[in-house]
Every structure is written in C-alpha cells, then in structure tokens.
Structure 1
Amino acid sequence: MGTVTALRRYPVKSMLGEALTSVAVTERGLCGDRVFAVLDDAGTVGSAKHPRKWGSLLRCRSRLTSADKVVVELPDGVVLSAGDPDLDARLSKLLGRHVSLSDTPGEHGGALERAVPDYEGGVPDALRGTAATDATGAAVTSGHVAPGTFFDYGAVHLVTTTALARLRAAYPTGDFDPRRFRPNLVVDTLDGPGFPEDAWMDSHLRVGEALFRVVVPTPRCVIPTLAQEELPPDPGIMHAVAREHRVPVFDLGRLSCVGVYLEVLEPGTIRPGDSVTRRGSS
C-alpha cells in the first residue's frame, strides 16, 4: 500500500523537531515525542495554534540527545537542556512573559488555546460562536490537550504524499512540504489521486514492526500557514485545504483535514523505507 519516506518527532510541543532514521513506538506514541511543553503561569500549554501568543516557539528546535535528554536550540543558536533555569529565562524573554518548560500538563489539566482562522472548517461551527478576543486581539477558543499528555488528540500523526500532491495540484504556487503539517510519519502511497486515507478509518495499519488503528482525520489549525525553517508564511495553504478537503470529524461537522491520527495497538520499531500495509478492523 505504501512506504514510510520520513519519520519526525517533536520533543517540545510547537517547536521544530527532528528527522529520524529509526524510532521505537510505544503505546504512548513515538519515543520522545511531545514529552515537554512550554507553560505560562496560568498553566496554559504553549501552542503555535495561537500564533500571536506562542508563534515564536516555531523559531526554536528541540531534539533528544544520545542520552535521551531533551535539548532546545534557541533562535540565536544557544543550546540548553531541559531543566536548565537559563532555558526558562530565555524562553520567557523570547515570548515576552514568564514561562517554563514542563514535562507534565500541570494542575490546570493542560489548557490549550486556538486562534479562530478565517477559512471554513478551521474550527467546529459550534465552537466558533464561543470564541473570545484575548489581550493579543485574536479571537480564540479554548480546550485541553489529551489527558496526561501534550498531544492534541492522537498519539501518532500520519500524512500521505498522495494527499499533499492533490493539494499541490489545487494550489500550485503553495509549498506543501510535509513539515508544514508536523507529521510523525510521511507515507508514500500507491493509491492514486485524492486522499486515500479517507478510506482507512478504523482500519489497522502495519508499519514496520508496529501496528496502528486509524482513528480519525486530522483537523488542521493555522500552523501549516506559518513560517517554519526556510518555509515562508502562506495563508493560501489552508485555504486550499478548506476548498479541497473538508470531511466529517466525529460529531464536530465538516472540518479542513490533512492526514490521520493513529492509535498504537502493538509497539515496535519503524524506519524510513518500511512498508505500510492495511487490513480491516477486527
């Protein structure tokens, strides 16, 4: 059905991550993925889904060392380890308010803010009406990360090359580099045009040694439109997604989606080049 062409993890939520040549997958997801987040004094989880407040996190890069320690490279090139008080001080200066790096969501349960985008299907219609304007002047909705984690929802995120090619054809001037969508797995699919993952819901995927269940399409926020690494900002990216791929997500209505969330059924190791095979649910 397909082949893994890229593996990525993001040790600190909403920072740039790292490409991998091999990764162990546990029931929690990729080892080392979203194990830390930046929190403010209210316990809000730092997420570039609210770019005016947290967008500078995308100027930082996080990675795991060979000793499985998380380190952060700041925009000025300084590299500091998680737990270093100087890292919290520098992140606070970067974001303009007191923040700290944490490996637990905190007593407030991991509150998460999302800016309301101007494209259709960016947030459920029922939530759009509850948005409030905050101190940054942005209309935001509030929710929570998945319990006990810093994931938005699913433990593993997969994007197909076929879906990106379809979007590229619809918006040729846009750069649909998969990094914009922050996937864990990029899969080169052989299914032909369109969005083959739409047919995978509740199917099981064998990827290398690991087995997953496809849970739900991945609703997209504003992050794919933001500047990341050498990729320029481009609001047209998500407008193209809204035109081409709004699909039902649970009872939330038709949302603009790219990729799918996966649940881990069997842990194992995955490497680029591993085959991806699909079978029905059981």
Structure 2
Amino acid sequence: MTAGTVVTVSVYPVRGCAGRSLPRADVGPAGLAGDRAWAAVTGAGRQLRGKDAPALAGVPATGDPAADAAAITAALREPVHLEPLGSRPDGGAAVHLVSRQALDRAAAGIVPAGCGADDPRANLVLDLPGDDERGWVGRRLRLGSAVLEVTRLPKHCLGVYAEVVQPGTVAVGDPVTTE
C-alpha cells in the first residue's frame, strides 16, 4: 500500500553538525552512506556532542574529514580532529524517518507530552497525506529499492527509527510503500 513519497534525503556526516540534503543516497546495513560517520574530538580526546557543543549544529558538514575538522575548529575556536564513529552513536537506529505532517504539527506546538519539537535530524522526510508514521512500529517499508523495518519511536517523539532489511537506493520522489 502506497502511503506517501520521499521529499527529503539527508545525511549528517559528523555527529552533532548540520547535515546536507541529497537527491538520492545508497542505504546499507548501517544506514545512509556517509551518515554519522565521524565524531569531532578535542585535543584532550573528548568526543564532542551537539548538547555539549551547541555551535556544532551551525557547521554544515560535507563528509570531507579535513575540511569538516577545519570548519569545526573555526566555529568552536578549539582545535579538533575527526575520528570514525564505527557504530551508531547512543544506540541509534540505522535510519531516522519523519513525516512532513509531524514537522508541521511540531511547528504548530502539537507534540506529545514530554516531547520536544527540536530539529529531528531525520535522514528521510516523507509526505504522508493519509498516514502517520508513529503507527508503523513493527512494519516494513519499501522506499526506492531499500526495505526498512520500523523498530521504535525516538526519544524526541518526532518520526520513527528503522533498521535496514534490504540495502538499496532511496531518492527524492520515491514512493513509500508499507508492507
């Protein structure tokens, strides 16, 4: 059953930094290629997180470790280098999906109790005119040639987290089909 379409594909190459939109992305077992691949690390060896260094959110990461380290160093006025993350930070799922409708509700101040309406940093923004992704936990989705299984709601309550069942490619305009 077609539930909607993919309207935005985004990756966040450096944990805590701004992402970048793409017309399409390859989706592997760990998620979208190039997503959350790097962490900024201080000279003292401390990995930086967005909540510890809010200025990271204003740095648009490109996926080029040298350029991104230089941009972060300039923004924080502290030398950093990038290290590979290796696994999903904080136990996050491979892919984060959120609907345009959920973003609109959040912008209007309509969010479940205890949840924030902050930038969800979603990999895929979907247009779901007649559906709500919060009811998809336990279901499989086909987006482009990739198949995802929705596993849970994120802590911040916008969207859903999914694991990759079948790697493939997802692009802006692809239909979202529930299985």
TM-score (norm 1): 0.55
Alignment-mate amino acid for residue 201 of structure 1? V
Partner of 2:36: 34
1:205 has 2:144 as partner: no
Contact 2:72–2:80 (CA<8 Å) still a contact in 1?
Answer: yes
Post-superposition offset of 1:96: 4.7
1:149 has 2:87 as partner: yes
Partner of 2:58: 59
> SS of the counterpart of 1:61?
coil
1:15 has 2:17 as partner: yes
Which deviations, in whole Å up to 9, do the C-alpha atoms of 1:148-187 show, x marking residues without a partner?
A: 325331111101112122233446xxxxxx9922110000
Contact 2:98–2:159 (CA<8 Å) still a contact in 1?
Answer: yes
Counterparts of 1:168-207 in structure 2, within 5 Å, are 168-170=107-109, 180-191=119-130, 196-207=132-143
Please report the RMSD computed on the Cα atoms of aligned residues, expressed in angstroms: 2.4
In structure 1, stretches of 5+ residues that fail to align are 65-69, 72-79, 105-147, 172-177, 221-256
Post-superposition offset of 1:199: 1.2
Runs of 4+ in 1 over 4 A off after TM superposition: none
Which deviations, in whole Å up to 9, do the C-alpha atoms of 1:226-254 show, x marking residues without a partner?
A: xxxxxxxxxxxxxxxxxxxxxxxxxxxxx
Alignment-mate amino acid for residue 59 of structure 1? G
Choose from 14, 25, 30 the match for 2:27: 25
Alignment-mate amino acid for residue 55 of structure 1? P
Alignment-mate amino acid for residue 62 of structure 1? A
In structure 2, stretches of 5+ residues that fail to align are 111-116
Alignment-mate amino acid for residue 80 of structure 2? V
> SS of the counterpart of 2:158?
strand
Alignment-mate amino acid for residue 56 of structure 1? A
Post-superposition offset of 1:94: 3.7
Aligned-partner Cα distance in 1 for 2:19–2:106 = 24
Distance 1:15 1:170, change over 3 A: closer
Distance 1:168 1:40, change over 3 A: same
Contact 1:37–1:150 (CA<8 Å) still a contact in 2?
Answer: no
Post-superposition offset of 1:29: 0.6
Distance 1:277 1:93, change over 3 A: closer
> SS of the counterpart of 2:160?
strand
Counterparts of 1:62-81 in structure 2, within 5 Å, are 62-64=61-63, 70=64, 81=67
1:46 has 2:48 as partner: yes
Which deviations, in whole Å up to 9, do the C-alpha atoms of 1:50-98 show, x marking residues without a partner?
A: 3xxx11112211124xxxxx25xxxxxxxx536x7xx2xx644643544
> SS of the counterpart of 2:119?
helix
Identity of aligned residues (%): 34
Alignment-mate amino acid for residue 184 of structure 1? N
Distance 1:42 1:213, change over 3 A: farther
Which deviations, in whole Å up to 9, do the C-alpha atoms of 1:92-112 show, x marking residues without a partner?
A: 4643544321124xxxxxxxx
- Rg: which structure is higher? 1
Post-superposition offset of 1:188: 0.3
TM-score (norm 2): 0.83
1:265 has 2:156 as partner: no
Contact 1:4–1:274 (CA<8 Å) still a contact in 2?
Answer: yes
Distance 1:20 1:94, change over 3 A: closer
Post-superposition offset of 1:258: 0.7
